[in-house]
Amino acid sequence: MQRKFKVWAKQRPGALPVPADRKISAYAPADVYQRWSAEAAGVRAVETGDNVITMFEDIGEDFWAGGGVTAKKVSAQLRAIGDRPVEVQINSPGGDMFEGIAIYNVLREHPQPITVKVMGMAASAASIIAMAGDTIEIGAASFLMIHNCWVVAIGNRHDMVETAEWLEPFDRAMSEVYAARSGQSVEAVQKWLDAETYMSGSIAVERGLADALLPADQVRSDDQTKAADQATNSLRAMELTLVSGGMSRSQARARINEIKGTPGAAPAGTPGAADEPDADLTASYDRLLAAMKSG
């Protein structure tokens, strides 16, 4: 027997703080990109309209695909839509957490109702964006994933303490938004954040982080799109793995372009990097990750 859930709109939670100094960046962990590639790549909506904003990419500027979802782009789309209801379609592994917060703040200021539809996954920064919806619908096979701000930091123990103290108010603010949306306690939500929690569609509805399951006939999966998503995602995951090992982002990108090699590889620093990533890129990433884990 199929379970039915009542669709009901809640008041959008309050605005989230955005750091004035963006010297520290907050990312989605590399393993989130791997799971998105395995379970959600290529998932799209069956239909779109002129009042729909799609978020099927990285949150923030996407070096590898040359796109990305940014607050600036979303603001421009909202201006084009005008004073009308908006539908936001999401299938994203996340990306830049603070850019996601900025997008959430932009959406929550829209004067008309916002319906968020999670088509495949709304992870990390994308899950924050989803909370801006008056109504949130999620596919039965889709996932919502939440976690604390995840950063790469280098320094001594005093630097680490300073970084932790700097991050704490952002984690607390996110806990309060998820709690306000779900009706759960801040303490319960914080445990989910600490555990880097994935929630299926039905669990997200039961916990109050979504309002209803999305009808299956509104979602499709395209093999060609899936392959393109997975190829680009391998580059993103490899970059984060190298950054976690101590490289700067520019160094990591240069190293990946070396691994990609020629023909087809663009010079380091070129958005898009290459028209088609090498077929063995995933294997290269797996070898690199294994080498880093072995010390």
- What are 59-94's pLDDT values in tens digits? 988 777 778 899 999 999 999 999 999 999 999 999
d(CA 250, CA 46): 37
d(CA 151, CA 92): 19
Catalytic-labelled residue, pool 25, 37, 124, 182: 124
Residues with Cβ < 8 Å from 74, sequence gap 6 or more? 53, 103, 106, 107
At 120 the pLDDT is 92
d(CA 235, CA 256): 8
The closest of 74, 192, 206 to 138, measured between CA atoms, is 206
Asked if 144 and 118 count as a contact pair (C-beta separation under 8 A), the reply is: yes
At 266 the pLDDT is 40
At 265 the pLDDT is 42
Asked if 83 and 113 count as a contact pair (C-beta separation under 8 A), the reply is: no
At 287 the pLDDT is 58
C-alpha dist (Å) from residue 153 to 24, 247, 286 = 8, 11, 23
Asked about 142 being catalytic, the answer comes back as no
d(CA 180, CA 169): 16
Task: Sort residue 261 into left (φ over 0), alpha (ψ -120 to 50) or beta.
Answer: left
For the entire predicted model, the pTM comes to 0.78
d(CA 88, CA 182): 19
- Looking at residue 123, its amino acid is A
Catalytic-labelled residue, pool 147, 175, 182, 234: 147
DSSP strands (E only) in the chain = 26-27, 43-45, 52-55, 86-92, 114-123, 135-139, 143-146, 150-151, 197-200, 212-214, 219-221
List of the chain residues with pLDDT < 70:
1-10, 20-25, 151-153, 261-295
Asked about 158 being catalytic, the answer comes back as no
At 273 the pLDDT is 39
C-alpha dist (Å) from residue 151 to 23, 55, 167, 191 = 11, 23, 9, 19
At 10 the pLDDT is 65
At 164 the pLDDT is 74
Residue that the structure tokens 């782009």 belong to: 73
Question: Can you give the length of the chain in residues?
Answer: 295
